[in-house]
Amino acid sequence: MNKLTEKSDKLLLLMMAKDSEKAFEELYIRYKNKIYSFCNFLLKTPELSRDITQDIFAMIWENRKTINSHQSFSSFLYTTARNRALNELRSASFREKIDLETADQQELLVEENMETSRISQELHILLDKAIDSLSEQRRQIFLMSRKKGLTYKEIGKCMGISPHTVQAHITISMNSIRNFVLEKANFILLIGSVVLSFFN
């Protein structure tokens, strides 16, 4: 198994800051489809969305030594993508391609979603911090299960432990993450749906 897939975004950013192309490639693979889908949802133009996605990751590589590894990388990506999409919606060239009414409606949609996106980003930052607060072994097991989709048996084989032990680590990790988020979040009523969807 590629060991980079088990590393957190923070560790990959630190490696990338030291010119690791492999770390950059892992971050690119991890997020490129998500950022493209997000841009295309806002712009409804696949080709432009692909270009923006490529530009964002090119910018990340160019600025690899100055990107803050302590911030949520996923939130940074989505914020950058949202701002780029909003700039495109306001540009004259984009408005020439589609009718002005459609452009205005899409721009309004982006602006109306900014506050919701900000709250969602804050919650995802908390989730990232909660995962990072786990012990190294539990964090690796949790990420292999929830982000890589490996079975308990597959994880156990990779980690040299039994599937039952893997299950125990997952249960403890889920409880720790829930408690971490519930203790620190300011919007308690919003947490339930976000956390539950994260674990489904």
**CA–CA dist 14, 164 (Å, integer):** 33
Residues of the chain predicted below pLDDT 70: 1-2, 90-123, 182, 184-200
Per residue in 145-155, pLDDT tens?
Answer: 887 788 899 99
Neighbours of 99 (CB within 10 A): 10
Contact at 8 Å (CB) between 139 and 8?
A: yes
Residue of 101, 74, 87 lying closest to 42 (CA atoms): 87
**In degrees, to the nearest 5, what angle opens at C-alpha 32 toward C-alphas 61 and 73?**
60
Task: Please enumerate in sequence order all residues whose Cβ is within 8 A of that of 57, keeping only pairs 6 or more positions apart, or say none.
Answer: 24, 28, 32
**CA–CA dist 121, 115 (Å, integer):** 10
Residue appearing with tokens 């971490």: 180
pLDDT of residue 88: 80
pLDDT of residue 200: 44
pLDDT of residue 149: 81
**CA–CA dist 108, 100 (Å, integer):** 12
pLDDT of residue 175: 85
Query: First vs last Cα of the chain: how many Å apart?
Result: 24
Q: Please state the separation of Cα 179 from the chain's center in Å.
A: 21
Provide Rg for the chain, Cα atoms: 19
CATH topology for the 135-200 domain: Arc Repressor Mutant, subunit A (1.10.10)
Per residue in 86-133, pLDDT tens?
Answer: 888 766 455 555 544 454 455 555 554 554 555 556 667 777 888 888
**CA–CA dist 81, 181 (Å, integer):** 26
Q: How many residues does the chain have?
A: 200
pLDDT of residue 199: 43
In terms of C-beta density within 10 A (0-12 exposed, 13-18 middle, 19 or more buried), how is residue 63 classed?
A: exposed
Query: Can you give the residue ranges of every domain in the chain?
Result: 1-132, 135-200
H or E segment and range at residue 174? helix 163-184
Q: Classify domain 1-132 by CATH architecture.
A: Orthogonal Bundle (1.10)
pLDDT of residue 186: 46
